[in-house]
């Protein structure tokens, strides 16, 4: 059983019901830009998708955990359009999206998978569209904890590999796909993330 599948089974709504502040801020930004359809890789049980549904967006999700998808039906109160599978297998459709929002997922991937994931998101983004990723930062208190398995990558006691971003790695991975801003934000419970914003040129 995958770690995340077991975590959902053990803890159900493991991150609570409130969306991350980055999800709320992104939904507001996308609304200001007149966006209509949004892709959310790492959909989970829908807590970070809810601000987008509440704002009237057409939302499509990608989620690897069957348990999380099942929980999303209870949490959201309806069956959302969610592709079951790993972001490794994107694209799941031929659609292009106005906006893409991905919270706390990209740092779980190794370098090759991160680059593939970023490029596939970019290919599904409409011209002038915006994609926003949140990723754990080297300023997080967990940086350096666990077994070091690669540069800035550590294996936690639960067996999860985490890559910790800094300005240099953000520039290396995002500069060529429309990087416009990267800033450090704090999410509950007291975890520091980068919020990385890219815009696809017209």
Taking residues 91-115, report their average pLDDT. 96
Quick check: 10 pLDDT over 80? no
Task: Assign domain 3-135+167-199 to a CATH class.
Answer: alpha beta
Q: How far is CA 101 from CA 11, 59, 121, 130, 152, in A?
A: 24, 10, 10, 9, 24
Quick check: 120 pLDDT over 80? yes
Q: How many CB atoms lie within 10 A of CB 202?
A: 6
Confidence of residue 16 (pLDDT cuts 50, 70, 90): low
3-state secondary structure of 11: helix
Q: How far apart are CA 92 and CA 74, in angstroms?
A: 24
Q: How far apart are CA 60 and CA 39, in angstroms?
A: 5
């Amino acid at each position: 059983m995958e770690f995340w599948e077991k975590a959902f089974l053990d803890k159900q709504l493991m991150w609570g019901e409130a969306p991350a502040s980055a999800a709320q801020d992104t939904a507001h930004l996308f609304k200001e830009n007149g966006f209509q359809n949004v892709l959310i890789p790492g959909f989970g049980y829908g807590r970070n998708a809810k601000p987008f549904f509440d704002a009237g967006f057409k939302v499509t999700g990608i989620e690897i955990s069957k348990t999380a998808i099942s929980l999303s039906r209870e949490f959201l109160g309806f069956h959302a359009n969610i592709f079951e599978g790993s972001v490794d297998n994107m694209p799941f459709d031929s659609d292009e999206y106005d906006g893409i929002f991905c919270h706390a997922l990209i740092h779980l991937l190794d370098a090759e998978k991160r680059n593939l994931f970023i490029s596939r998101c970019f290919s599904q983004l409409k011209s002038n569209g915006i994609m926003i990723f949140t990723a754990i930062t080297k300023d997080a208190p967990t940086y350096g904890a666990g077994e070091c398995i690669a540069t800035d990558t550590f294996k936690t006691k639960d067996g999860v590999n985490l890559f910790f971003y800094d300005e240099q790695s953000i520039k290396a991975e995002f500069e060529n796909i429309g990087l416009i801003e990267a800033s450090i934000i704090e999410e509950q419970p007291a975890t520091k993330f980068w919020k990385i914003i890219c815009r696809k040129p017209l």
